[in-house]
Amino acid sequence: MRKTTRLRKLIEDPRLLVMPGAYDALSARIAEEAGFQAVQASGANIVACHFGVPDYSLVSAREMAEHTGRIANAVDVPVMGDADTGFGNAVNAYLTVQQFERVGAAGVNIEDQVIPKRCGHLEGKTLLDIDEAVAKIQAAADAREDKDFVINARTDALGVFGLDEAIRRGNAYLKAGATMVFLEGADSAENIEAAVKAIDGPVAVNLVEGGKTPSGLSFAKLQALGIARVSLPSTAMQATVQALRTVFGRVNAAGGIEGYEDLLCGFGVAQRLLGLEQIFALEDRYMAGLVGPAGDQ
């Protein structure tokens, strides 16, 4: 089954689809190893970890698609890309979807903010006029060669105009060809429940530690509210920042490479995640007698 079809079926399944955010191939493999059935390529985390800049429309469509392709090709589960605002107008959105589809993404998020956009859990966002936003979603949907390629239409209207406008936009985006509506900045279980009841298609949210995410909103609660998909866009990057701060502090204190083993996964674990065992198997198959054991020359 194509990854696009798998992702669409996971969204349509009554069970909640949980998609951790990944910022590179290795973080995606770790998410896959943990048992998640799909991965979200987090745009904010990609620009932070690969470019060292905030989520402010500072990275191009081509760069984002290339990074997403590396992530998608590193795992067997479907990967949804982050197409930001479509990186321009409706024509740009059309061409952006083509780029993401070519690199192997199973779908994309496209949002209704103006450029430059900002993180959905921050204040000060400005939205496109609804007609322009609908045209952008229609262009994105029309650009798909594979009709199962997921268009996740994100609206930031809840925090800017209120719930009624978020619902109005969500239904308009579905009519324009979106697969799912992403209610960004969901700030209460009550608003989520009302949106799910009023939007005529699957609804997605995200949970951001330290953001607008309400406390106590478990996966079980989201499923009970009728949410189709939840992404965790910030978890991996926040965990990485904290882990590296901790281990680098211990490295300085140790004055060598001993004394902080409890903070490391182990050399062999990392190599296994990178697929070194498969390389050795190929050496045994095609190069027996030409190389020594475990790849020694």
Mean pLDDT by 10 residues, the chain (297 residues): 98 98 97 98 95 93 98 98 97 98 98 91 91 98 98 97 98 98 95 98 96 88 98 96 96 93 94 92 88 55
Closest CA to 182 of 217, 156, 214: 156
pLDDT at 178: 98
- Domains for the chain: give ranges and CATH numbers: 3-233 (3.20.20.60), 241-295 (no CATH)
pLDDT at 72: 98
pLDDT at 213: 83
Amino acid identity at 203: V
* Whole-angstrom distance, CA of residue 88 vs CA of residue 136: 9
Closest CA to 46 of 73, 11, 83: 83
pLDDT at 290: 74
Q: C-alpha angle 78/84/88, rounded to 5°?
A: 130
* Whole-angstrom distance, CA of residue 2 vs CA of residue 104: 10
* Whole-angstrom distance, CA of residue 297 vs CA of residue 291: 5
pLDDT at 47: 95
* Whole-angstrom distance, CA of residue 136 vs CA of residue 29: 32
Rg of the chain taking only CA atoms, in angstroms: 21
pLDDT at 131: 98
* Whole-angstrom distance, CA of residue 70 vs CA of residue 23: 10
Q: Does the reported pTM lie above 0.85?
A: yes
